[in-house]
Structure 1
Amino acid sequence: MKELPSTAKIVVIGGGIIGCSTAYHLAKLGFTDTVLLERKKLTSGTTFHAAGLVGQLRTSANITQLLGYSVNLYKTLEAETGLGTGWKMNGGLRLACNQERWTEVKRQATTAQSFGLDMQLLTPKEAQELWPLMTIDDLVGAAFLPTDGQANPSDITQALAKGARMAGASIFEDTEVLDLEIDKGRIRAVITERGRIECEKVVVCAGQWTRSFAARYGVNVPLVSVEHQYMVTEAFGVPSNLPTLRDPDRLTYYKEEVGGLVMGGYEPNPIPWAMDGIPKDFHYTLLSSNFDHFEQIMELSLGRVPALETAGIKQLINGPESFTPDGNFILGEAPELKNFFVGAGFNAFGIASGGGAGMALAEWVAKGEPPYDLWPVDIRRFGRPHFDTDWVRTRTLEAYGKHYTLAFPHEEHSSGRPCRKSPLYDRLKAQGACFGEKLGWERPNWFADLAAGEEPKDVYTYERQNWFHAVGREHRAVREAAVIFDQTSFAKFVLKGRDAQEALSWIAANDVAKPVGSLVYTQMLNDKGGIECDLTVARVAENEYYIVTGTGFATHDFDWIARNIPEGLHAELVDVTSGWSVLSLMGPKARTILEKVTRSDVSNAAFPFGTVRTIGIAGCPVRALRVTYVGELGYELHLPVEYATTVYEALMAAGREDGLVNAGYRAIESCRLEKFYRAWGSDIGPDHTPVEAGLGWAVKLKKGTPFKGRAAIEAQVKGGVKKMLACFVPDDPDTVLLGRETIYRDGKRVGWLTGGGFGYTVGKAIGIGYVRNPEGVTEDFVLSGTYELDVAMTRIPCKVSLKPLYDPSMSRIKG
């Protein structure tokens, strides 16, 4: 047996497709002292029993790009390594059996063209010509993606392993990792049953074993094992060029294999596995076939492929796979431990993801950042609820059961709720709140009029939502009177220490070196100028800042700030989210109401925009931030949680005669779209700079202060940009915009919408998206074009704007 090296730059743990792909790409990047360790044999965990379908389209452009990279790699891997991969680019079909599904498919086709994929819409007869084994009596239509395909999971993994060795990496099978050696928060070595390997970085690609292994070192990887079954038939003359087939209304998928079919599916009542831990010697092991549980899938499939009734069954394969609470996989450097990277939780599409995920993870390890924005799969999207395995399992089983259900816009999960609650939760629920959930927090999305018989419940559709008029009421109150938003779920940090100003001045793109009492809106940039964080910073003392960011970005933003505090500076970051409630009082009558409950001077002269003051309300010291995300006079009232109900009741009583009402997050979204306010994670992110996003005014270029990303921004200001964020308003007021609709300028595709919704003051749908042009984009370029939006494969004329659509002089609310 080959001797284990005593040192390596990088150690990859796990020899499935993700580990082998990561090692392959690390070696290609020049890290030839990469070592991969597999406790048994390559592919022996879960890769060997994967079904091997390779689809590409996802709701994120970058994840679609990542999956497209897998396809391009699999095309060339056999020629490079001499090993067969079973790769066949025979295309992929997706069926629609009802009008709602057909709308979803048409919107997916629009998304595909937005991202540069050729997805063709077919009639039922055209689909049957491609897949003659199926019946089409119930079909409305189908979509065909010619570049999808299928592969043999074990063969592809072995080819990647050989490619890794050819490029200089070392792979050791039958080598179990026993422990990591960590000293003062730094990885020093990997301890194996065959010896110690000193290393700088560890990449854990251990599949369903990753959660328990990572937890030993304080790292949270939210995944659990779920049984997943598929059937392999005997050969019965199935053509080898048959496309892969997904029939989501029947919860099933199909691919050709050796003249027969592989058929599997996602049942609504999945079975969790290994709830008390994975058996010690579990490798190359399948679970007992569960024909009773698979019967529901089998019955659904017979209605589509009658030939299955007489086809011989070779095997019913039952293998556990690792699934995650949101159905996306997990990549990136753990926020809890530096140089500990994770690639796991692939939700039964690890083969489709394998090539691209390995590439992205290798670049992340090598360069300290991913090749592009991978927020949908970033390990930092998780938070406190995800430390509890029971909660993770409950939510994951729901996500599994929804794998093929209609993915409606604005859909909320129902499991594991309520988990994190504001002190006002019960009060707001009694007043008709319909809650959504983010990172475990219950947040009011909208309020039903209980007296009028409205039910606080979402009814999902691709058309106008049942809450459309309720949100319109709240929007009207924001614009004409006042509302309270319970935004207790905001993530809140304190940065404190003698060097707090110097540290934050380096991390923040805007000027935070302002007097105590100042409030600053700022981005935090990477070295390419991309926006990593978008938040508000209040200077509450000479050596202390109070930082507020979005609910879902708690882990990400804390990690970004903490890891970018320059070495040697004395500044400590603390998460204080759970200690503070936030009541946002917004609207033209907000000051009138606030004056009734405080003796503090809250006039514009004493308390101008962009400042923070401590005021007293009902015996509570309230940290009031003069800021708005809805475009009206507003105050974010931050207060210790124990005062929340008292202050809320005082405000509601004082504001009753001024029309003060409760409002939810969907009204915030509507108002912010009218004001063209950006949202991180959709409109802005690591792939977008403030210059491209129209936020150059929030960057301190006129000051000589150095800050992270400054050089990239200066270069862009000087050299121009190739994309620019703009606002789009369709001529047809009944248009429903959801995001990812294709933008056409003068008939040419130039981008897609990053988000969309309805503006009740302007009375029309509103979309936001980047206009792109490789030769450069200026304001004149954007404004001089004639625009259309492709919505569910229909072109709709629209107007473009680089300015907010709403200003406070507009009074009439429409819609």
Structure 2
Amino acid sequence: MKSHVKALVVGGGAVGCGVAYHLAKAGWDTLLIERDELTSGSTWHAAGLLPLFNMSYATTHIHKYSVDFYKTLEAETGLNAGFAIVGNLRMAQTQERMDEYKLYSSVAETADVYHEFLTPAQMKERWPLLNTEDLKGALFHPQDGYINPADVTQAMAKGARQHGAEIARKLQVNAYRWTGSEWVVTLEKMVEKGGNLVGSGEEIEIRAEHVVTCTGNHAQRTARLLGIKIPAIPVEHQFIVTDADPALVKWRAEGNPEHPVLRDADAKWYVREERGGWILGPYERNAPARFLYDVPETFRADLFQLDLERIEEEYMSMIHRLPTSEEVGLKDDFNGPICYTPDGNPLVGPAPGLRNMWLAEGFSFGITAAGGTGYYLAQMMVEGEAEIDMASLDPKRYGSWMTTEYAARKNEEAYEHVFILHHPDEEREACRPLRTAPAYDRQIAAGAQMGQTNGWERPNYYGPKDAPSSFDHDSRSFRRGEWWQYAKAEAEALRDTAGLIDASAFTKHMVRGPGATAFLDAFTCNKLPKVGRINLTYALTEAGTTRTEYTIVRLAEDEYYLISAGAWTDYDGDFLRKSIEDFRAAGGDYVDCHDVTTQWGVFALAGPNARKILQEVVKDAYPETVLSNKRFPWLSMRNIELGMCPVRAVRVAYTGELGWELHHPVEFGRYLWDLLVEAGEKHGMKLVGARAQNWLRQEKSYRAFGNELGRDATPQEAGLDRFIDLEKEFTGKQAMLDTGIRSKCVTLLIDGPDDADPWGKEVIKKDGERVGRLTSGGWSVAFGKQIGMGYVRPDLAEPGTKLSVRILGADYPAEVTEDSPHDPSNARIRVDG
């Protein structure tokens, strides 16, 4: 076995073999090690389903690549991966479920995933064993199906060897040590003893430039060895295999094709054929998390005790859907661990705080994702970035505040939600409230309906405190829910009078020291602001795409306050710290960086009456002029006093109105909230939530990180040229220029349906042809119609271009508008007083 490699892959399940294959194919000297046998983790008892259905843009691409890739393995390796291309039928019992499928359909179009819609009559005609009487319809993927997990893993392993990779078994990692240029990994040889796998005491060292952990159920042990947190914890998943169903046997004997994988999403199960019988896989309530801290040494390719009572409801619903299965006995049963994360998506990308350490953990659909994960992760490692934005899967989307208990409870919830309707506005309730700002109780008392971002509770909207019993704050819909009228009223109030938003979840970093100015100048693409001023700027990847958006407030010559998106605190912090390390290693002066997110609360006050409200409470020798354009111009910062609260006030508003962000020591949050609410009453101020704010920022064409801004588009493609200083050198500059303009970010006004708005996932078309996709969507109170932002072909980005957007299964007229269609000259923001 080699003692030094370019890449060491730890874990020999489907994901590990997929990563090893693609790294080796890319030309990297690769070694894969497995503590037991290949496929001995969750891979061996996986059902092998390959569902293309996914609401995530990145995950959809991963799954599609896998399905296409697996079809090529036999020709390359000579091994049959056992791919049964029988299709995948997702049935719907309700119109709400059909709405979900219609939204998914638009997402699928953006990734060229083929699918069809079927009526109950069409299903019954094709598959007469199905009871379709209570169905509304179905979504059908004829190109996917299921695969043999062991066979596809072995095929990828053979392919990896053919490309030069080495695979070694019975080796367990006991330690990782970073030398500054490579990883020294201590391995222990494992031996069989009494049916268990135990350490032999014989250790060897491997040196690797890069390490990828694909350790599945053992992720918590990996986290301890690396000194990081990985919220990947397994949950029990049961499935049962029936005896042969005589009706099914007869159906197949008559020459009929195999049934597709059946999914009755409303009944929370999948079913597929298995040797004349059926496999039922339910996603029931109360499935427990396991291995919260470690996998017992005695647990190898083992299973848990079955709990049939827990899945009785799902079993009875299978009999309802397939009546011939009622008299069929049970032949086999499985209850094994399957890894989850709090949002159900895997953790793929660089490990927090570590160099050249990559995670591929937390796969609840590991067989489906293995090939695509290997492909896109190899791109990130070899080329610096993947061709799609992988930020939504980044391991650092969960911050250091995350605990084992949190991960376990949220993972159980994610398992339970596999087949629960995935509304774009869904807010899952487990482990909430957890992180709350001081004014949280005040907001709840005012009718706030909370969402959460990065664990923080924040108001989505304020509903009626005395709502009738028929009003359901928890109702979710793919169309306009009951919340819509209140979000609309909040948006109108902020445009007409004033609105107050709690933005305390914003990420905040202090960057200071003798090297701070030189570092930030090279780190970001815009000019740095002068002392007391602010600038919006972007940090780029080495590939020239957008890595992070920052509002930079310059407090002193070498002291800066950086504000970025609240959902990305650890993601941004890790990038900042590693970039500072690189700057210092290249000879730069000392730079100090601190995450001060939890030290500073933020209230955003905006609207035509915002200045009048602040004048009620500001303490200054000349209160009538302290907020004027002369003393406090747009895009500047001043330290002021509001009542007894010291405030770092920043004259900027994400909603595009006259406004200020009021950054304050967090312990003053309740006091300042009360002060502003009281002062705002006589000026028509309304409390405003995140949904109205999202609509309003689209009226100003303000790009949002994670939506319009990401690692698959450059700032120039995002239309941010005014924030790019091409006269200076900055990271990613030449790559950005070399990339050119592949697509362009635009704002669209849409003449959509009467009862629904786009969610920012929809396909954009020109004369029926796909030409782009939305990244944001909502309702415009300024224009009285739907609004959206997204990317289209550059030749279609001119204002006035006529396009269409597919919303819930129908194409609606849309027109490219000028950037910042509401108040394009920013007169309302600059207004004096």
Measured after TM superposition, the shift of residue 41 of structure 1 is 0.6
Measured after TM superposition, the shift of residue 272 of structure 1 is 2.2
Tell me if 1:35 matches 2:31: yes
Distance 1:117 1:275 in 2: 36
1:297 aligned partner, one-letter code: E
- Tell me: CA distance 1:61–1:646, structure 2 relative to 1, closer, same or farther (3 Å): closer
1:754 equivalent in structure 2: 775
- Tell me: CA distance 1:418–1:452, structure 2 relative to 1, closer, same or farther (3 Å): closer
Tell me if 1:355 matches 2:355: no
2:108 equivalent in structure 1: 112
2:651 equivalent in structure 1: 626
Tell me if 1:711 matches 2:731: no
**Which whole-Å deviations, capped at 9, do the CAs of 1:199-234 have from their partners, x for residues lacking one?**
222111010111232233222110211110111223
Tell me if 1:637 matches 2:662: yes
Measured after TM superposition, the shift of residue 53 of structure 1 is 0.6
Match of 1:299 among 316, 337, 355: 316
Match of 1:744 among 762, 765, 771: 765
Tell me if 1:216 matches 2:225: yes
2:716 aligned partner, one-letter code: V
Measured after TM superposition, the shift of residue 698 of structure 1 is 0.9
2:347 aligned partner, one-letter code: I
1:22 equivalent in structure 2: 19
**Which whole-Å deviations, capped at 9, do the CAs of 1:569-613 have from their partners, x for residues lacking one?**
221221011111111111111112222222342211111111111
Conserved in 2, the CA contact under 8 Å of 1:598 and 1:616?
A: yes
- Tell me: CA distance 1:779–1:768, structure 2 relative to 1, closer, same or farther (3 Å): closer
**Which whole-Å deviations, capped at 9, do the CAs of 1:307-337 have from their partners, x for residues lacking one?**
2222332211111111110010111111221
Report the 3-state secondary structure (helix = DSSP H, G, I; strand = E; otherwise coil) of the residue aligned with 1:613.
Answer: strand
Measured after TM superposition, the shift of residue 469 of structure 1 is 1.7
- Tell me: CA distance 1:446–1:800, structure 2 relative to 1, closer, same or farther (3 Å): same
1:345 equivalent in structure 2: 362
2:787 equivalent in structure 1: 766
Tell me if 1:508 matches 2:524: yes
Conserved in 2, the CA contact under 8 Å of 1:90 and 1:148?
A: yes
1:253 equivalent in structure 2: 270
2:4 aligned partner, one-letter code: T
Conserved in 1, the CA contact under 8 Å of 2:384 and 2:542?
A: no
Distance 2:750 2:115 in 1: 26
Distance 1:554 1:340 in 2: 20
Deviates more, 1:470-479 or 1:403-412: 470-479
Conserved in 2, the CA contact under 8 Å of 1:384 and 1:439?
A: no
Tell me if 1:231 matches 2:240: yes
Conserved in 2, the CA contact under 8 Å of 1:727 and 1:803?
A: no
2:749 equivalent in structure 1: 728
Distance 2:293 2:769 in 1: 56
- Tell me: CA distance 1:45–1:205, structure 2 relative to 1, closer, same or farther (3 Å): same
Distance 1:644 1:161 in 2: 56
Conserved in 1, the CA contact under 8 Å of 2:748 and 2:814?
A: no
- Tell me: CA distance 1:318–1:692, structure 2 relative to 1, closer, same or farther (3 Å): same
Distance 1:515 1:76 in 2: 57
Conserved in 1, the CA contact under 8 Å of 2:480 and 2:756?
A: no
Tell me if 1:472 matches 2:488: yes
Report the 3-state secondary structure (helix = DSSP H, G, I; strand = E; otherwise coil) of the residue aligned with 2:309.
Answer: helix
Conserved in 2, the CA contact under 8 Å of 1:18 and 1:343?
A: yes
1:384 equivalent in structure 2: 400
- Which structure 2 residues correspond to residues 233-382 of structure 1 after superposition, within 5 A? 233-236=242-245, 237=249, 239=252, 241-275=258-292, 277-347=294-364, 349-382=365-398
Conserved in 1, the CA contact under 8 Å of 2:509 and 2:593?
A: yes
Conserved in 2, the CA contact under 8 Å of 1:731 and 1:799?
A: no
Report the 3-state secondary structure (helix = DSSP H, G, I; strand = E; otherwise coil) of the residue aligned with 1:83.
Answer: coil
Distance 1:489 1:252 in 2: 37
Deviates more, 1:477-486 or 1:357-366: 357-366
Conserved in 2, the CA contact under 8 Å of 1:729 and 1:800?
A: no
Report the 3-state secondary structure (helix = DSSP H, G, I; strand = E; otherwise coil) of the residue aligned with 2:792.
Answer: strand
1:422 equivalent in structure 2: 437
2:198 equivalent in structure 1: none
Report the 3-state secondary structure (helix = DSSP H, G, I; strand = E; otherwise coil) of the residue aligned with 2:295.
Answer: coil
- With the length of structure 1 as denominator, give the TM-score of the two structures: 0.94
- Tell me: CA distance 1:745–1:461, structure 2 relative to 1, closer, same or farther (3 Å): same
Conserved in 2, the CA contact under 8 Å of 1:121 and 1:143?
A: yes
Measured after TM superposition, the shift of residue 393 of structure 1 is 1.1
**Which whole-Å deviations, capped at 9, do the CAs of 1:678-700 have from their partners, x for residues lacking one?**
11111221112222222111111
Distance 2:741 2:761 in 1: 25
Conserved in 2, the CA contact under 8 Å of 1:56 and 1:148?
A: yes
Distance 1:735 1:666 in 2: 14
Measured after TM superposition, the shift of residue 422 of structure 1 is 0.3
2:552 equivalent in structure 1: 537
Measured after TM superposition, the shift of residue 451 of structure 1 is 5.1
2:795 aligned partner, one-letter code: V
2:297 aligned partner, one-letter code: K
RMSD (Å), alpha carbons: 2.1
- Which structure 2 residues correspond to residues 57-136 of structure 1 after superposition, within 5 A? 57-136=53-132
- With the length of structure 2 as denominator, give the TM-score of the two structures: 0.92
Report the 3-state secondary structure (helix = DSSP H, G, I; strand = E; otherwise coil) of the residue aligned with 1:20.
Answer: helix
Report the 3-state secondary structure (helix = DSSP H, G, I; strand = E; otherwise coil) of the residue aligned with 1:332.
Answer: strand
- Tell me: CA distance 1:473–1:726, structure 2 relative to 1, closer, same or farther (3 Å): closer
**Which whole-Å deviations, capped at 9, do the CAs of 1:358-387 have from their partners, x for residues lacking one?**
12222333334334211221112111342x
Tell me if 1:695 matches 2:720: yes
Tell me if 1:664 matches 2:689: yes
Distance 1:90 1:284 in 2: 28
Report the 3-state secondary structure (helix = DSSP H, G, I; strand = E; otherwise coil) of the residue aligned with 1:168.
Answer: coil
Conserved in 2, the CA contact under 8 Å of 1:421 and 1:441?
A: yes
Report the 3-state secondary structure (helix = DSSP H, G, I; strand = E; otherwise coil) of the residue aligned with 1:199.
Answer: strand
Conserved in 2, the CA contact under 8 Å of 1:488 and 1:582?
A: yes
Deviates more, 1:189-198 or 1:223-232: 189-198
Deviates more, 1:430-439 or 1:232-241: 232-241
Match of 2:627 among 593, 597, 602: 602
- Tell me: CA distance 1:188–1:367, structure 2 relative to 1, closer, same or farther (3 Å): farther
Conserved in 1, the CA contact under 8 Å of 2:743 and 2:791?
A: no
Match of 1:433 among 448, 464, 469: 448
Conserved in 2, the CA contact under 8 Å of 1:218 and 1:336?
A: no
Conserved in 1, the CA contact under 8 Å of 2:472 and 2:482?
A: no
Distance 1:732 1:37 in 2: 55
Distance 2:82 2:128 in 1: 23
- For structure 2, which runs of at least 5 residues remain unmatched after alignment? 190-202, 621-625
Distance 1:215 1:326 in 2: 22
1:41 aligned partner, one-letter code: E
- Tell me: CA distance 1:771–1:476, structure 2 relative to 1, closer, same or farther (3 Å): same
- For structure 1, which runs of at least 5 residues remain unmatched after alignment? none
Match of 1:143 among 126, 134, 139: 139
Conserved in 2, the CA contact under 8 Å of 1:447 and 1:456?
A: no
Identity within the alignment, %:
37
**Which whole-Å deviations, capped at 9, do the CAs of 1:769-810 have from their partners, x for residues lacking one?**
2112xxx52644x634x3222222212223321322322889
**Which whole-Å deviations, capped at 9, do the CAs of 1:67-122 have from their partners, x for residues lacking one?**
11111211111121111210122221110111111121222223222321221111
1:657 aligned partner, one-letter code: K
- Tell me: CA distance 1:708–1:501, structure 2 relative to 1, closer, same or farther (3 Å): same
Distance 1:458 1:605 in 2: 47
2:196 equivalent in structure 1: none
**Which whole-Å deviations, capped at 9, do the CAs of 1:629-649 have from their partners, x for residues lacking one?**
101011101111122222222
2:228 aligned partner, one-letter code: V
- Tell me: CA distance 1:457–1:31, structure 2 relative to 1, closer, same or farther (3 Å): same
Aligned length: 795
